[in-house]
C-alpha cells in the first residue's frame, strides 16, 4: 500500500498554515507565538537574571533553562494533569540541546536565561512549534545568537515522505514514522533529531533533506515576524 | 522601597488619580472576552483586562459521583500560575496564591448554583460529568481574581458536551451541540483598600501595597454568592458595606463584556 493522498489534501512537502508573532507577552524580556495548523506554542524568555540556588551558578557563563508544558485542556483526549511529567521533561531537555548551539551566554556568568514554552492547543508537532517560538523569543530578548533555530516534524507514511504530520497522520493505520527535526538555517546542521516508527535508511535521508528545505521556509517566516516587531511604522524597508 | 511606592500611590489617590492615570473605580481598558481560545478544550475563553491576559479552558470527564451527592456531577477549578506569565512566578506545585484564586473562583460558581449539578448526572451513584476549569495566565499584570472569574464563566458559556459513546465512554474527537446547563451568571469584582481609599482592578504594583482586599462575587440579580477578604489589615463594617456597594455595581459593568 502506498500513501498517495494526504488525509487533509496537502501536498507531501507542504506544511499546515503557519503564523508567527513576536512580542506577545508584555511581562517577558522576549516572547513569541508560533502557530502551525491547530498547534499553538507560546514562548517567553526571562533573563539573563540571577540564578538561585547559588550552587547551580556557573562562574564561566550563563546557563539556559528550558521548561515545556502543555496546558491541562490542550490535549486530544482527557485533561492533561498539570505539572511536569516524563514526556515534558524529555522534550524540555531536547529543546534546550537544540537551542544551546546558537546562544552565547559567555557574557553572563552566574546568570540564567529562562525559556518557558506553553501549549494552549495541540495537534501534533508541539516540540517543533515550541522550538520555533523559543528561538524567536530568545532573539526578541536580545540574547546574542549566531543563528535562529527552525524546526518541523517530517515523516514517512507507507513509504511516502511527508512534511509536518498532524495528529490524524501520526495515528494513521499503516506504517508511520514521525521525525521531529530542528535545523540551524544558515549552516543546515541538525540540532534536534528524534524518530519513532518504521522506515528505510534511504527514506530517512530523503526526510532529512525535506526537513532542511521546509526549515528554510520556516526561517523566513520567523525572520519576518521578528522584523515586523522592530519596524517603525512608515519606515522604508 | 514598597513604603515609598505606597506613599506615592496614596498621594496620587488623594488627588483622585492613579499611576496609569485611571480614576479609582475604573477598570483598565480594554476589558475583552474572546471565545474559543483553545479548540482542544470543551469550552474556552481568552480574557484581556488592560495588560492582564489569561486563558481559561474546560475539560469534561465522566467519573463516579461523590457518595454524599450520588445524583450530582462534579466541579473542579485549578489555576496554574505559569512562570511564563510573570517574572516572579516559579515552577513547582501550586502556590498558596494559586490555591486561593482557584477556591474563590470555585465558590463563586458553586455557591451561586451557576451549574445545575443534577443535570450532570448520567447514572445515579455510578456515572456523572465532572467539569474541570483550568485557569492559565499568559501575562499576569494584576487583578487575576476578576479576570479568572470572568474567564471561568465565559468558558462555561462556551462549553459543549463531548460525544458520549457506548458505556458512557467519552469520545473527545466529537463535540455535541449541547451546552452546559447554566442557571446563573456569577462574576466577581475585587475591591482594594489602600489608606482611606477604595480602588478596583489593581495593577501588579498596586497589589503589592494594598492593605486589604475584598472579592465580591454576585449573580445577575445582584445577590452575593461568594466573598473573600484578603490581606492582613482589618476592615470595619462600614468599610465592608462600601466595598460591597462598589462590588455589586462593578460586577454588572463587568458582566456586560460577556
Q: Say if A27 falls within a structural domain.
A: yes
Say whether B82 and A69 touch across the interface (CB within 8 A). Answer: yes
Q: Please report residues of B whose CB lies closer than 8 A to that of A26.
A: 51, 139, 141
| pLDDT, tens digit (0-9, with 9 covering 90-100), for A87-99 | 999 999 999 999 9
Read off φ and ψ for residue B123, nearest 5 degrees. Answer: -130, 115
The three three-digit cell numbers of residue B252, written as one number: 454588572
List, for residues A3-44, the tens digit of each pLDDT value. 889 999 999 999 999 999 999 999 999 999 999 999 999 999
Q: Is the pLDDT confidence value at A188 over 90? A: yes
Helix, strand, or coil here: B163? strand
pTM of the model: 0.95
- Best probe of the A interface among B38, B39, B40, B53, by most A CBs < 10 A, is B40
Domain presence at residue A13 = no
Nearest Cα to Cα of residue A16 among A217, A225, A226: A217
Considering only residues 51 to 80 of chain B, which have any Cβ-Cβ distance to chain A shorter than 8 Å? 51, 55, 57-59, 61, 78, 80
Residue A234 predicted with pLDDT over 90 = no
In this predicted structure, the answer to whether residue A236 has a pLDDT above a threshold of 70 is: no
Alpha-carbon distances of A167 from A37, A43, A122, A125, B255, rounded to whole Å: 11, 22, 9, 8, 38
Contact A73 B83 (CB under 8 A): no
Q: How far is B169 from chain A (nearest CA, A)?
A: 11
* C-beta atoms of A72 and B172 within 8 A: no
* Closest by Cβ to A82, choosing from B78, B85, B140: B78
Confidence (pLDDT) at A181:
98
Query: Does A38 reach chain B within 8 Å, measured CB to CB?
Result: yes
B166 secondary structure, DSSP code: G
The pLDDT score that the predictor gives to residue B164 is 92
Picking from A148, A160, A165, the residue whose alpha carbon sits closest to that of residue A215 is A148
Closest CA to A231 of A19, A18, A23: A23
Q: List the strands of the sheet with A39-50, edge to edge.
A: A18-22, A30-36, A39-50, A111-121, A63-70
Helix residue ranges per DSSP H, chain A: 86-99, 126-140, 167-170, 201-230
* pLDDT of A77 strictly over 90: no
**Is residue B229 exposed (0-12), middle (13-18) or buried (19+ Cβ within 10 Å)?**
middle
Q: Residue B203: name the closest of B82, B24, B56 by CA.
A: B24
Give A35 to chain B, closest Cα distance, Å.
Answer: 12
Which three three-digit cell numbers place residue B197? 481609599
- Which of B39, B57, B136 comes nearest A38 by C-beta? B39
Is A3 a domain residue?
Answer: no
As for how many domains chain A has, the answer is 1
* Domain encompassing residue A127: 18-229
pLDDT of residue B168: 86
Query: How far apart are alpha carbons A42 and B54 in whole angstroms?
Result: 13
Which residues of chain B neighbour A24 with C-beta distances below 8 Å? 138
Burial B91-121 (b: 16+ CB within 10 A, else e): beebeeebebbbebbbbbbbbbebbebeebb
Q: Which long-range contacts (CB under 8 A, 24 or more apart) does B1-5 make?
A: B2/B208, B2/B209, B5/B205, B5/B208, B5/B209
CA B172 to chain centre: 26
CB-based contact (8 Å) between A121 and chain B? yes
User: What CATH number does residue A25 fall under?
Assistant: 3.30.230.70
Q: Average pLDDT for residues A208-227, to the nearest whole number?
A: 98
Per-residue pLDDT, B1: 58
CA-closest candidate to residue B57, choices A75, A176, A10: A75
Closest alpha carbon to A192 in A176, A174, A178, A175: A178
Instruction: Tell me the pLDDT tens digit for each residue of B130-156.
Output: 999 999 999 999 999 999 999 999 999
In tens, the pLDDT along A104-126 reads 999 999 999 999 999 999 999 99
pLDDT of B150: 98
Rg (CA), chain B: 19
Query: Which residue(s) pair with A68 in the sheet?
Result: A117
What are the domain boundaries of chain B? 2-183
Whether A72 sits inside 8 A of B140 (CB atoms) is no
Q: Which of A69, A73, A76, A119 is the best substitution to test chain B (most B C-beta atoms within 10 A)? A: A73
Q: Closest Cα of chain A to B171: distance in Å?
A: 8
Distance from CA of A113 to the nearest CA of B (A): 12
| Residue A237 in domain | no
Q: Sorting pLDDT into bands at 50, 70 and 90, what band is A232?
A: confident
Residue A232 or residue B53, greater confidence: B53
Q: Check CB contact of B16 with chain A, cutoff 8 Å.
A: no
A126 interfaces chain B, CB cutoff of 8 Å: no
Nearest to B199 by CA among B10, B8, B1, B47: B10
Q: Is residue A48 part of a domain?
A: yes
Determine the topology of domain B2-183 in CATH. Answer: Ribosomal Protein S5; domain 2 (3.30.230)
Q: Mean pLDDT per 10-residue run, chain B (258 residues)?
A: 89 96 96 96 97 98 95 96 96 94 96 94 95 98 98 97 91 91 94 97 96 96 95 96 97 95
Peptide bond into B24 cis (omega under 30): no
For A120-158, how does the pLDDT look when each residue is reduced to its tens digit (9 = 90+)? Answer: 999 999 999 999 999 999 999 999 999 999 999 999 999
Amino acid at each position: 500500500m502506498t500513501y498517495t493522498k494526504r488525509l487533509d489534501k496537502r501536498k507531501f512537502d507542504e506544511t499546515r498554515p503557519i503564523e508567527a508573532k513576536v512580542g506577545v507577552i508584555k511581562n517577558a524580556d522576549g516572547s513569541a507565538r508560533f502557530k502551525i495548523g491547530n498547534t499553538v506554542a507560546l514562548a517567553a524568555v526571562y533573563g539573563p537574571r540571577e540564578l538561585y540556588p547559588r550552587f547551580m551558578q556557573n562562574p564561566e557563563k550563563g546557563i539556559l533553562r528550558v521548561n515545556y508544558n502543555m496546558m491541562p485542556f490542550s490535549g486530544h483526549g482527557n485533561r492533561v494533569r498539570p505539572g511536569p511529567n516524563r514526556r515534558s521533561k524529555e522534550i524540555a531537555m531536547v529543546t534546550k540541546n537544540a537551542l544551546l548551539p546558537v546562544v552565547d551566554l559567555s557574557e553572563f556568568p552566574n546568570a540564567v536565561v529562562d525559556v518557558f514554552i506553553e501549549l494552549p492547543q495541540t495537534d501534533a508537532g508541539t516540540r517543533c512549534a515550541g522550538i520555533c517560538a523559543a528561538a524567536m523569543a530568545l532573539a526578541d530578548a536580545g540574547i546574542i545568537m549566531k543563528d535562529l533555530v527552525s524546526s518541523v516534524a517530517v515523516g514517512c507514511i507507507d513509504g511516502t515522505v511527508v512534511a509536518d504530520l498532524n495528529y490524524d497522520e501520526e495515528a494513521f493505520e499503516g506504517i508511520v514514522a514521525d521525525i521531529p527535526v530542528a535545523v540551524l538555517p544558515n549552516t543546515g546542521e541538525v540540532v534536534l533529531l528524534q524518530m519513532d516508527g518504521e522506515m528505510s535508511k534511504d527514506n530517512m535521508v530523503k526526510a532529512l533533506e525535506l526537513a532542511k528545505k521546509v526549515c528554510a521556509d520556516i526561517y523566513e517566516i520567523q525572520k519576518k515576524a521578528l522584523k515586523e516587531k522592530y519596524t517603525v511604522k512608515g519606515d522604508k524597508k | 522601597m514598597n513604603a515609598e511606592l505606597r506613599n506615592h500611590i496614596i498621594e496620587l489617590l488623594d488627588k483622585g488619580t492613579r499611576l496609569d492615570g485611571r480614576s479609582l473605580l475604573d477598570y483598565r481598558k480594554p476589558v475583552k472576552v474572546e471565545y474559543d481560545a483553545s479548540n482542544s478544550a470543551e469550552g474556552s475563553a481568552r480574557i484581556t483586562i488592560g495588560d492582564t491576559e489569561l486563558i481559561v479552558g474546560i475539560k469534561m470527564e465522566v467519573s463516579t459521583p461523590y457518595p454524599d451527592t450520588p445524583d450530582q456531577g462534579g466541579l473542579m477549578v485549578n489555576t496554574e500560575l505559569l512562570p511564563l506569565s510573570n517574572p516572579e512566578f516559579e515552577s513547582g506545585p501550586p502556590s498558596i496564591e494559586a490555591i486561593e484564586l482557584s477556591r474563590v473562583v470555585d465558590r463563586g460558581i458553586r455557591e451561586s448554583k451557576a451549574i445545575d449539578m443534577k443535570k450532570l448526572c448520567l447514572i445515579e451513584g455510578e456515572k456523572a460529568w465532572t467539569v474541570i476549569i483550568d485557569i492559565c495566565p499568559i501575562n499576569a499584570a494584576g487583578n487575576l481574581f476578576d479576570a479568572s472569574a470572568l474567564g471561568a464563566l465565559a468558558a462555561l458559556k462556551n462549553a459543549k458536551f463531548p460525544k458520549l459513546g457506548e458505556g458512557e465512554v467519552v469520545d473527545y474527537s466529537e463535540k455535541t451541540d449541547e451546552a452546559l446547563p447554566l442557571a446563573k451568571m456569577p462574576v466577581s469584582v475585587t475591591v482594594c483598600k489602600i489608606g482611606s481609599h477604595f480602588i478596583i482592578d489593581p495593577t501588579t504594583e498596586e497589589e503589592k501595597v494594598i492593605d486589604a482586599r475584598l472579592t465580591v462575587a454576585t449573580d445577575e440579580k445582584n445577590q452575593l454568592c461568594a466573598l473573600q477578604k484578603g490581606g492582613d489589615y482589618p476592615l470595619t463594617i462600614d468599610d465592608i458595606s462600601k466595598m460591597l456597594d462598589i462590588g455589586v455595581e462593578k460586577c454588572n459593568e463587568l458582566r456586560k463584556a460577556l
